[in-house]
Amino acid sequence: MSVFTRILMLLCISLIAHTSPAQAVPHALVLDIQGAIGPAVAEDVHNTLAQAGDAGLVILRMDTPGGLDQSMRKIIQDILASPVPVATFVAPQGARAASAGTYILYASHIAAMSPATNLGAATPVQIGALPKPDIPRSPSVKGSSPETPEESGNPMQHKMVNDATAYIRSLAQLRHRNVEWAELAVRKAASLSADQALKMGVIDLIAQDIPQLLKKVDGRTVSTGNASVTLHTRGMRIETVERNWRSRLLAVISDPNVAYVLMLLGIYGLFFELANPGTILPGVIGGISLLLALFAFQVLPVNYAGLALIFLGIGFMIGEAFVPSFGALGLGGVIAFVAGSVMLMDTGAPGFALSLSLIFAVAACSAAFFILIIGMAIRARLRPVVTGAEEMIGLLGTASEDFDGTGHVLVHGEIWQAVSTVPLTNGQSIRVSNRNGLTLQVDPVQHNNPEALP
């Protein structure tokens, strides 16, 4: 074989080696879930699983007090449909997976916790539920179990608890985890530490951090849909998922307190723009704020009766400034505003309730503004003019001479040229009806009209 042929073969081999697809380096995607489970978190999980692609594992590093049922179910649906295994890791130490976090932990292919963490307290809550009337109960027996939410709630609460129990039992059976304790977590709000959860078969393992988690799950086989996947995670590269701008914006404005303030800014901004056309800035700020608030309310569990009460309260407070109701409209407006604000968020989920201090502060400021400031502005606007040319209209004076048509009058301590349609005599009382430059239009005052006297 000639030298030329050997060189040509080496070049071909090198070209083939460079053009052949490189084997993808296995990696794990890590998404941090901190705080309440809401629409923004659900969207983050959905986007992460959608872009997982060739990832070997998706890790949800969780620390949550719970959240919205609708968002939780969307997350679980995405986990169950994911072809990439999902590990929920309650971390760092001191974190928790309470309420909605417990359901997500049960739904994941791998359930892991750090030391000194806890899970549980998964009883569903709903704001606005009426308490069950007191029913005489037989004396409690020593050692008997405490009253469950089912026993103390109303029929609607029973439905919610039964639905949540069936849901978490199905997840526990799917992942072969402790079914009995899952039911206790819902019916009696039971909680467990990480060590207890591992002993009772609620979770799969305890790990200090993500590298240790990857070592411990290496070689495990999990079911993703209709397929079984064996994990090869030792030495896997770790990539942290960054939230996009839409998720960050949704996370901010879906906070009920932020959405509440945006709604009020929108209402007040548009009110000022309509009251003072051409100001522009209040209208721009109000329009943007109101649209953002409506976007947030679209994904939040809003009670529309509460929203209507807020608008009614604002209307009453504005009416107090225009109608002399001796405080009845203003007081009714404040009561309706506060009641509507308390009712606005139709959920008792942690992290999705309006702050009472914020409600009372906004109600006090709104009442003070509409009732006092706007009222003072309207009263000032209705006062008679005391300066300028318009001040002369309606002033009283006396004729300085006898004249018929044109003459002079004394008004406001000054001699003015005046015109009159009727003859006037010296010293006769007159009233200014109009002004044209330095000439006054005057009319005689009828002294038999008490209101006409100066």
Active site amino acids: 99, 159
Distance between CA atoms of residues 219 and 235, nearest Å = 12
Count of beta carbons in the 10 Å neighbourhood of residue 73:
16
Give the contacts of 122 (CB within 8 A, at least 6 positions apart). 98, 99, 100, 102, 103, 164, 168, 182, 185, 186, 189
DSSP string, 181-206: HHHHHHHS--EEEHHHHHHTTSSSEE
Distance between CA atoms of residues 11 and 17, nearest Å = 10
Taking alpha carbons only, the member of 272, 267, 260 closest to residue 338 is: 260
Pairing of strands 221-224, 191-193: unpaired
Distance between CA atoms of residues 50 and 394, nearest Å = 78
Pairing of strands 406-411, 414-419: antiparallel
Pairing of strands 27-34, 57-63: parallel
Taking alpha carbons only, the member of 168, 155, 156, 167 closest to residue 126 is: 156
Distance between CA atoms of residues 146 and 244, nearest Å = 46
Angle between helices 39-50 and 69-81 (to 10 degrees): 10
Distance between CA atoms of residues 292 and 306, nearest Å = 19
Task: Name beta bridge partners: 417.
Answer: 408, 439
175-to-91, 179, 255 alpha-carbon distances in Å: 21, 10, 33
| Backbone conformation region of residue 176, classed left if phi is above 0, alpha if psi is from -120 to 50, else beta | left
Count of beta carbons in the 10 Å neighbourhood of residue 421:
11
